[in-house]
Amino acid sequence: MHKAPKFYITTPIYYVNARPHIGHAYTTLVCDAIARRKRMLGVDTFFLTGTDEHGQKIERSATAAGKTPQQFADEVSAAFRALFDRMNIKYDDFIRTTEPRHQQGVQELFKRLQKKGHIYKGTYTGQYCVFDELYVDATGPGAPCPECGRPTETVSEDNYFFKLSAFADKLLKLYEEQPDLIRPEARRNEVIAFVKSGLRDLSISRSTFKWGIPVPGDRKHVIYVWLDALSNYCTAIGFGSEDKAAQEKFKHYWPADVHMIGKEIIRFHCVYWPAFLMAAEIPLPKSVIAHGWLLFEESKMSKTRGNIVRAETVIDVLGNDALRYFLLREIVFGQDGSFSFDALVQRYNSDLANDLGNLSSRTLTMIGRYFDGTVPYPSATAAHKKADDTVKQQAEIAISEFGQLFDDYQFSRALEAAWSLVSSVNKYLVEQEPWIVAEREGQENRSRLATILYTSAEALRIVTALVHPVLPESTANIWQQLGLGDITKFDLTSLKWGQLPLSGKLGKITPVFPRADKSAVERMTQMEQERNHTSAPSPAAAPASAAPASQSGTPSPQVTSAQPAATPDGKISIDDFLKVELRVGLVKAAERVKGADRLLRLEVDIGTEVRQVVAGIALAYEPEALVGRKVVLVANLQPRKLRGLESNGMIVAASVGEEGKPVLAGFLEDVPVGAKLK
Ligand code: MSP
């Protein structure tokens, strides 16, 4: 019997000690794009993501936040999930390592390793890096971790050990026999060199803290967090379950086709993980793909460096597709790449608003205007020109090049190939001047117009189908406008020139990528500053209660600050709400801030004092109009500096429409200055 191809792809599971940023979003959306293309090609696809919730690092973060590890993990895991949902990530499962199905599977794996004689008890004395959850070859208390440079801690414990040293030759043979296992090549060489330098047995339990999965039969120990975490790839699809359906699922999807990871965790995935699997006699993953880092302001974006950018900021201002397109087009996959708001807005305007957006709106509007929204018949004879054939050939080249490059993880080049078709068709339209042909009388001209617009619409259909995995929302919209229904139902294997149904009726035509104005960069920069300076200490706060995407048309509140810890269902307690001090203020003075289009400097009387507040409302309000007006102020925010001016509080405003226009909150009745809102 013919077996349908299957494809199982995973992201790393993310630590819950920090809230998600676009570095995490990057890996997840790359996998999402790959999974979407596979599904369009008819492949039985399973896409897994999730959170890594055990270990000393999480236990300490929870204590620092005054929470139990479970509460803490619940909150941050919910924040990751909420972000991925908001990003429209179509994962098939989201695993949490604190779930019973996972714990059971990990214990099963541990028992298997034990039964097969790969585990022994011994004493570990040496250095441990809690940040990387890594045993390191450093000497002496406080010696720096060779991976991250942080001081290591001396650990002296009776532990369970895994006989990793016995696997060195087997691993080297594996890398040789399965050269595609580790990509890119540079990372493969790094792994080979590491294994050749000698492998020591690995401690796979800890006994000095409690936050982990107990070693079966020895509750004094918890299982080492990396053995716990790596197992998620198996436990999520049913490994270790007694349920028949779960076992079948594991048989069906395992081994994973792709483990997608950031380059810093290659050793865990290409040395420890295959060794554990070989020892347990479980088939090995087909590939581990390590991408580079997203840099911001020259260094790796990370919470510790304090240089993170949140995906929500980009989504709020430019939408999901803009973030996806930028990350896949601008960053050469596999290498480190810089993120900047300027480059993002530039790319958005040139490639999306100008190139694809224009192609779509011009073509569809002209079909609407000249053919009453019905796809016209191309003429095969008199009105046919060589330029029409050239577009067809270019479309065929785009189909083949896009597929090859994308499937080889060269996303940027794949998109270049698709955009070279977009540019050609835009040029074709400029040269063929359909708007002038439309003015001319006679059947010949009418046929010519039909051919030009059919050619352009068919090329648009092809680009739309190709780039759907990268731009799922806007391409679904263009597809509808082309009158083609649900794009996710389209069989990509059948894509070829000439399938646009003649006489098909177009859908409602709406612009897909409104141009981003000059203020977009400033708005995003300011949103990041506000989020960084005003979010509550709980890492869960921002994503869990983040405002909905402006693309959805839902106004998002301007107060993104002082976000209290949310429970997994997104609710907060009244106590949390009451921590936010909201007061009625009277604007005494207002002026523009030099060099910042959006900012006003206000002096606001809140009864007990006059506060200086810098507010991003200058595009909506003239300073003079604000003097004497009563506003609502968040009064207990930590002060922050904007453009060198200290801001003490935040003015509450609704954020309306796609542009997020601020509209100040106010009262119908008169209220005394300083009154508290609750
Ligand atoms: N929990 C472990 C992984 C266990 S997998 C069995 C872990 N978690 S993490 O939260 O630190 O996430 C690491 C992953 O997030 C990276 O491998 C990468 O996929 C992604 N990224 C985090 N910061 C990133 C950048 N600045 N740039 C690119 N990817 C980034 O390690």
Atom number, ligand 1, closest to the C-alpha of residue 11: 19
Residue 667 predicted with pLDDT over 90? no
pLDDT of residue 549: 29
What mean pLDDT do residues 515-520 have?
Answer: 90
Residues lining ligand 1, Cβ inside 6 A = 12-15, 23-24, 26-27, 52, 229-230, 232, 261-262, 265, 293-294, 300-302
pLDDT of residue 565: 42
Atom number, ligand 1, closest to the C-alpha of residue 260: 19
Q: Give the pair of three-digit tokens for residue 44.
A: 């039985």
Average pLDDT score over the chain: 90
Kindly report the CA angle at 650 between 648 and 651, in degrees rounded to 5? 130
How many Cβ atoms sit within 10 Å of the Cβ of residue 197? 8
Q: What is the Cα 366 distance to its own chain's centre?
A: 36
Residue 550 predicted with pLDDT over 50? no
What mean pLDDT do residues 32-40 have?
Answer: 98
Whether this model's pTM surpasses 0.85: no
Atom number, ligand 1, closest to the C-alpha of residue 269: 6
Distance CA 224, CA 470 (A): 37
Residue 386 predicted with pLDDT over 90? yes
Distance CA 329, CA 256 (A): 26
Q: Give the pair of three-digit tokens for residue 604.
A: 């606001």
Using DSSP bridges, classify how beta strands 288-291 and 182-183 pair: parallel, antiparallel or unpaired.
parallel
What mean pLDDT do residues 85-98 have?
Answer: 97
- 24 alpha carbon to ligand 1 midpoint, in Å? 6
What mean pLDDT do residues 535-542 have?
Answer: 34
Pairwise pLDDT comparison (378 vs 201), residue with the higher score: 201
What mean pLDDT do residues 193-220 have?
Answer: 95
Mutational test site, ligand 1, from 9, 13, 14, 16, max ligand atoms within 8 Å of CB: 14
- 377 alpha carbon to ligand 1 midpoint, in Å? 52
The residue assigned the tokens 């790393």 is 12
Cβ-based neighbours of 427, under 8 Å, separated by 6 or more: none
- 552 alpha carbon to ligand 1 midpoint, in Å? 29
What mean pLDDT do residues 538-548 have?
Answer: 29
Reported as a pLDDT band with limits 50, 70 and 90, residue 678 is: confident
Pairwise pLDDT comparison (138 vs 525), residue with the higher score: 525
pLDDT of residue 616: 86
- Helices 22-40, 69-86: crossing angle, 10 deg rounding: 50
Pairwise pLDDT comparison (562 vs 351), residue with the higher score: 351
Residue 417 predicted with pLDDT over 90? yes
- 20 alpha carbon to ligand 1 midpoint, in Å? 10
- 292 alpha carbon to ligand 1 midpoint, in Å? 11
Closest C-alpha to 548, from 20, 33, 74, 87: 87
pLDDT of residue 596: 76
For the chain, give the percent of residues with pLDDT over 90.
Answer: 71
Cβ-based neighbours of 166, under 8 Å, separated by 6 or more: 118
DSSP string, 234-265: HHTTTTT---HHHHHHHHHHPSPSEEEEEGGG
| Minimal-distance CA residue to ligand 1 atom 23 | 23
Pairwise pLDDT comparison (305 vs 248), residue with the higher score: 248
What stretches of 291-439 show up as alpha helix (H) in DSSP?
Answer: 311-318, 320-330, 341-347, 357-371, 386-407, 411-432, 434-437
| Cβ atoms of 500 and 522 closer than 8 Å | no
- 226 alpha carbon to ligand 1 midpoint, in Å? 13
| Minimal-distance CA residue to ligand 1 atom 6 | 230
| Minimal-distance CA residue to ligand 1 atom 29 | 23
Reported as a pLDDT band with limits 50, 70 and 90, residue 573 is: confident
Burial (CB count within 10 angstroms: exposed 0-12, middle 13-18, buried 19+), residue 638: exposed
Residue 430 predicted with pLDDT over 90? yes
| Minimal-distance CA residue to ligand 1 atom 14 | 262
| Cβ atoms of 44 and 6 closer than 8 Å | yes
Residue 560 predicted with pLDDT over 50? no
Q: Give the pair of three-digit tokens for residue 135.
A: 């045993």
pLDDT in tens, 126-158: 899 999 989 888 777 888 888 888 888 888 889
| Cβ atoms of 615 and 651 closer than 8 Å | yes
- 268 alpha carbon to ligand 1 midpoint, in Å? 12
| Cβ atoms of 307 and 299 closer than 8 Å | yes
How many Cβ atoms sit within 10 Å of the Cβ of residue 381? 7
Helices (H) and strands (E) in the chain, counts: 24, 28
What is the three-class DSSP state of 151? strand
pLDDT of residue 658: 54
pLDDT of residue 378: 85
- 614 alpha carbon to ligand 1 midpoint, in Å? 35
pLDDT of residue 52: 98
Kindly report the CA angle at 309 between 473 and 470, in degrees rounded to 5? 25
| Cβ atoms of 563 and 541 closer than 8 Å | yes
Residue 533 predicted with pLDDT over 80? no
Mutational test site, ligand 1, from 17, 24, 309, max ligand atoms within 8 Å of CB: 24
- 159 alpha carbon to ligand 1 midpoint, in Å? 27
Closest C-alpha to 447, from 387, 386, 377, 502: 377
| Minimal-distance CA residue to ligand 1 atom 5 | 12
| Minimal-distance CA residue to ligand 1 atom 18 | 262
Q: Give the pair of three-digit tokens for residue 178.
A: 């399965």
Distance CA 453, CA 359 (A): 11
How many Cβ atoms sit within 10 Å of the Cβ of residue 198? 8
Closest C-alpha to 74, from 102, 100, 105, 97: 97
pLDDT of residue 645: 83
- 300 alpha carbon to ligand 1 midpoint, in Å? 11
| Cβ atoms of 512 and 464 closer than 8 Å | no
pLDDT in tens, 630-651: 999 999 888 787 777 888 899 9
Residue 255 predicted with pLDDT over 90? yes
